[in-house]
Structure 1
Amino acid sequence: MLKRMQKHTNEKPYSCEVCGFSFAQKSERIRHMRTHTGEKPYSCEICGSSFIQKSHMVQHIRLHTGEKPYSCEVCGSSFIQKSHIVRHMRIHTGEKPYSCQVCGSSFTQKQSMLKHMQTHTRKKPHSCEICGSSFTTKEGVLKHLRTHTGEKPYSCEVCGSSFTQKQNMLIHMRIHTGEKPYSCEVCGSSYRTKQNMLLHIRTHTGEKPYSCEVCGSSLSTKHSFLHHMRIHTGEKPYSCEVCGTCFTMKHNMLTHMRIHTGEKPYSCQVCGASFSTNQSLLQHTRIHTGEKPYSCQVCGSSFTLKNNMLRHMEIHARKKATQTKR
């Protein structure tokens, strides 16, 4: 009865002695205090990871068990957390519950709306003490400071990868969960991020907005354009800290690093084999599916790998060369 009354009156009689935050219920303050004390009383019996709240531990255990109790009634996608399916459903319904009070633009997530609001105010009252860069929010400058300190406070509970921002960690988690909430309306392909889906759509539209001033080549993405320019400049800005090998792309360097770390984040759902790259996993999966997508144009033989098909084609080329000499 008392707890229900506090919801109506907004009364918050329980205060944190450290930071001053107030809470309606004593249990809420107890949970909050763990952010100051570092106490994590709930542990995963499988990997030993610890958590502040029991609900967080329950969600984590689903990463081990593969349980996804929340299913989308439209497309069948399954999710570990209820909040994930709520966000996902907005893709189908088109619901955008968060609106900008200035221009009326609507957004599916509150965080996206708050970032948009900053374009109207243009005020940047928070400055970096190291390089002087200015930011609209205190959170923005805290995130920026991590580029100087190297701090990565958000860790993947499955593989241990660390990230400077929570959003990047959540996107990374989709590698393990298999969640791909963004779908192409043309062909139905699904993607982990909205950006990747938008880039994919250009394969249908043929749009290539980035042009090389050296050779005139047109590219569909800014990332591809920057990578292409390094062909002309010879620039290889990403270096392996272990062996010193240099790369034109960060992705290639990170993939290379797995040779040293032994990390294999891509797992086969059929036999459990692990791989360092998604491409290797896709090639391996064909052993189970029997798929042979590469065909010889001469005799029609099919192959699981493109390289195998090219080597096979050389047999026909040699035969043709021998017959010509005769």
Structure 2
Amino acid sequence: MGDESSSSTKDDKQKLVRCIEWLQKQNNEDTEKLENKNDIQFIIQTHAARKNFLLAVAEDDATVPAGVNEPSLEPRKVSRYRLRVANLQMECEWQSCRLIFSDYDKYQKHVLNHSSNMHVIENDIGVEYVCLWDVCGHKTSDFNEMVRHLNYHAYHGKLLAIGFNGRATLKLAPCKKDSSKRNHIPLQVSDYNCLWVGCEENVKYNSIQLFLDHVKVHTNYSDNILCSWAGCGAMFPRKEMLTVHVRSHTGERLIACYHCGQHFANNRKLCDHLRRQNVCPNTPYVCELCGTRCATEYLLGEHTRQHISTYACTLCDMSATSPAVLASHVRYRHLSRKDTRTHACPHCEYKAITKSDLRQHILTHKKKKKKGKSIKKERFSDEDNSDSDCYEVKKEKKGSSARKYACHLCPEKSMMIFSRGNRLTTHLVKEHGAQWSFGHSRFRYQMSEDGMYRLTTTRYESLEVSEKIMDGYTSPKVPLRNLGFKLRQVADPTANTPRRFEIKFKTEDIDMKDDAEEMEVDKKPDKENKVEIMMCDVDEEGNIISSEVIDKSDLIPKLER
């Protein structure tokens, strides 16, 4: 009894210390300035700090301590078969609400009623609505979008309640990610529209739950267990497999991590999400290529697939590990800049290929003078100490945690070590004449057993990709870059076939043919655009003797002669 009482007093002291620290953060000068400057932003950041504090206390178990005037929540163990139905505690996280529901229908209606309590900001353009859901802060000028946004909050709240009980039911470790964005949900730009071929109800839904219930009716009564979603046509041996497949079209999720808010399509992905963050140091599942430790054999297999290239570029010798990497390679290396640079910068004439590139570029316009001075100082010190970046192994600094890039071609006694990978790249090209493979844009480095980063000299590819490259499927003699292309839709989607497009690259031959076709079209007489010319004969004094009206099309063969 004495040990239990002492442990309880220690826990109470730790909670008290955390409460004091959190109160000190709330009363500092920065929050006071922020409160006077923008009340909405102050509310959002205060809620984020409070949520981080509440979830930090509950690292040992899934219990979330109660705040001021808030009920305490404790996970309830239920069977896996009834995890999504039984003992759900769905919390309304709207500002100053904090009601808990066990009925999902009542919870949805309650959340939607908060659409009349939104914060409204008037500006020159019109009215802007602000969501006061905890750690959200979404803003939009479209009221219908805000309604869809609130309906998704209710749907996401149900997933959080399932994940809250699921952590205790599945016996999962705690999540270690940042919880300040746990209620950041996807943008709801438009209504939900059913694309099931043959659907007679041509209705658009502003609630994702109503949309999912409607699609389930199609899957339950599907003929021949066929996915009739427009452009799919996949068939399955069992109806359960069809139900799982349709989630890829509708975006349905079944469970969410209560700490960070990320939602998943099944329980296994949530387990993998938490197991990746809690890897045992003595785990037997270690990647032989990079030394990464994994929690399970399945995660090790998924990680190893990242090292093997299974997709080949048809324009060069580039091989990629995923379709997304291959698409990015083609977009940056082979397509013309006029066709791909569609994201314009609002501050200058720069155009980016992707939104992420545009965000990085906009940051260059927002840099402060202090940061610019510090960057100049760093560059000046790097230029003065450029020789110190190349040193022998014996002259290593003790306690340095920065990465070290070693040259594998230099002798061990005079092995050169660099502080940056681009400097090692320059050394390999100038001193040893190394070149990267055609189609690849740079060298890649991986950590060795001694902790040094060395050049990756082995490329792992699947057998099919290797055969394509060796048989001359790729490897053009001249590198193809800045290719223009024309995109034309060939066929509309059906129940069994997707929408098909035809892509043609713009080459000189194609451009010449297109110009010739345009010239032929111009030469053909247009009945709608006829021009009549009046030919007049006059005498010496300028009087008209005779006149004749002639079409312009009648003069073309005479001029050609």
TM over 0.5: same fold?
Answer: no
What range describes the TM-score normalised by the shorter chain of this pair? 0.3 to 0.5
Could you say which structure has the greater relative contact order, defined with CA pairs below 8 angstroms and 6 or more residues apart? 2
TM-score scaled to structure 2, two decimals?
0.24
TM-score (normalised: structure 1): 0.38
Q: Which has the larger radius of gyration?
A: 2
